[in-house]
Amino acid sequence: MRFARLAPALIAIGCVVATAAADATGPRSITDVRVQLPSLDQVIRVLSLRDYNTAVVVIGVTCLGIASGLIGSFMLLRKRALLGDALSHATLPGVGIAFLVMTAFGAEGKWLPGLLIGGAISGGLGVLGILAITKLTRLTEDAALGIVLSVFFGIGVAVLGVVQKVGGNAAGLESFIYGKTASMLFSDAATIAIAGGAIAMICIALIKELTLLCFDSAFAASQGWPTLLLDTLLMVFVVGVTIIGLQAVGLILMIALLIIPAAAARFWTERLTVMLIGAAVIGGVSGAIGAAISALAPRLPAGAIIVLVAGAAFLFSMICGPTRGVIARAWRLIRLQRRIGRQHLLRAMYELSEEAGANAASFTTEQIHGQRYWAHGELRAAIRAARRAGEIDMADDSRLRLSPRGREAAWRVTRNHRLWELFMVTHADIAPSHVDRDADAVEHVLDPAMVRELEAALSEQYPDLRFPPKLDAGIA
């Protein structure tokens, strides 16, 4: 059953691999399905950028990926990841209208700078539409994005229908929807590099202002910062990156280059500057590798391959990222559970020693087990962890005792537990019978600063807080 579910995906992957391998040796008949991997000479030729067209494409999409990663990071932190999707669709009417205008004046209708200017104007109108809907109505921003996306894309499709019926060489204009990287000219790559570089430089120059806007726009407004202007400028950056990416990956896949590199970089760091660098690197490398793979397999569309490479980078980052990756989070959770179990063991032994007095310095596992509830196997795991940490040792074959280091740690965690219990009873007016579970969770995360605050809050009522009393010892 499981294989049957995976069969369609495996067949699709096999077809892609077969197509790539068959294309590696050059143009073939569409009925030729022989699988041939690219030769070493072909790989070296692509990696060394010996072919002029390959070099142009790689440079162009690399610059696009870098600019997209930078802008996408701010959009992700601003919680407007789908804004690029709406604005990319909003550029389509401008591309079609620009073609009609240039054709009407006898110019080359597919002149890229002219098409990009038209797309920029249309995208700018989309930005104004989103701002107007959100500011003048009670509709939410996601509703405004959906309205602008659908209306402008509908207008764009209608304009392209008109373009196909009028005179002029309109063939290939639909590549702005799906992208056609392989047809990129040097002038196209230069336009992408110059525009992308300018956007990136302005973005870096305004990094302080954009950071404040993304993390706390309300505070920025209260301090007199022009948040509306900064917000509009950020949208203009998105429009700029989107229109220069139309030729490379198309407006449908452009949203992937804005979101995926930034989202992938987020798994590696908590610092904004490192995230910006990481997103730019992931975007640029994804573009270069995707263009190189497309050069080795001409039948595969470069735009889609670039997005797939970026998706692979995201998947790797999601699993292996040291800050927010799945493995790192799972390992931190395991370590936290071990630390909590070990501290529960230390507190149980400390409280047993308090009850038994100086006559009992070691305890059996049965005594410890009766001190609190332990999940299956939790006590054994806690004992192993505490022994590895040097906090307990064996008094004999069946009895455990606290080491000097363990006694200090046990006193500290028990004290934190009781301080929090006393605080909840005296300041939150919670019954003593209800605070133990809450204190059981909080005691593990109290840092020295918080402990000092608790001491200050309780010092008047309880002068001796080095050994706080237990609630069941007459404290109410």
What is the reported pLDDT for 242? Answer: 82
What whole-number distance in Å separates Cα of residue 130 and Cα of residue 378? Answer: 55
Q: Long-range contact list for 147-150, CB < 8 A, 24+ apart?
A: 148/86, 148/87, 148/89, 148/90, 149/85, 149/86, 149/89, 149/90, 150/89
Any idea of the CA torsion for 51, 54, 60, 65, to the nearest 10 degrees? Answer: -130
In contact, 99 and 207? CB cutoff 8 Å: no
Task: Write out pLDDT tens, residues 258-309.
Answer: 899 999 999 999 898 999 999 999 999 998 898 888 888 777 777 888 889 9
Burial 216-240 (b: 16+ CB within 10 A, else e): ebeebeeeeeebeebbebbbbbbbb
Measured between alpha carbons, how far apart are the two ends of the chain, in Å? 62
Burial class (CB in 10 A: 0-12, 13-18, 19+), 167: exposed
* Domain 41-324 in CATH 1.10.3470.10: yes
What is the reported pLDDT for 12? Answer: 47
**Whole-model pTM?**
0.76
Any idea of the CA torsion for 264, 267, 268, 273, to the nearest 10 degrees? Answer: 70
For residue 231, pLDDT over 70 is answered with: yes
What whole-number distance in Å separates Cα of residue 99 and Cα of residue 148? Answer: 22
Give the chain's length. Answer: 476
Q: What is the DSSP letter of 393?
A: E
Mean pLDDT of the chain: 80
What is the reported pLDDT for 277? Answer: 93
What whole-number distance in Å separates Cα of residue 436 and Cα of residue 372? Answer: 11
For residue 11, pLDDT over 60 is answered with: no
For residue 434, pLDDT over 50 is answered with: yes
What whole-number distance in Å separates Cα of residue 43 and Cα of residue 31? Answer: 25
Q: What is the DSSP letter of 463?
A: S
Calculate mean pLDDT across residues 348-361. 76
Task: Write out pLDDT tens, residues 138-176.
Answer: 888 888 888 988 899 899 888 888 887 765 565 556 666
- Partnered with residue 393 across adjacent β-strands are 401
Calculate mean pLDDT across residues 213-222. 85
For residue 177, pLDDT over 80 is answered with: no
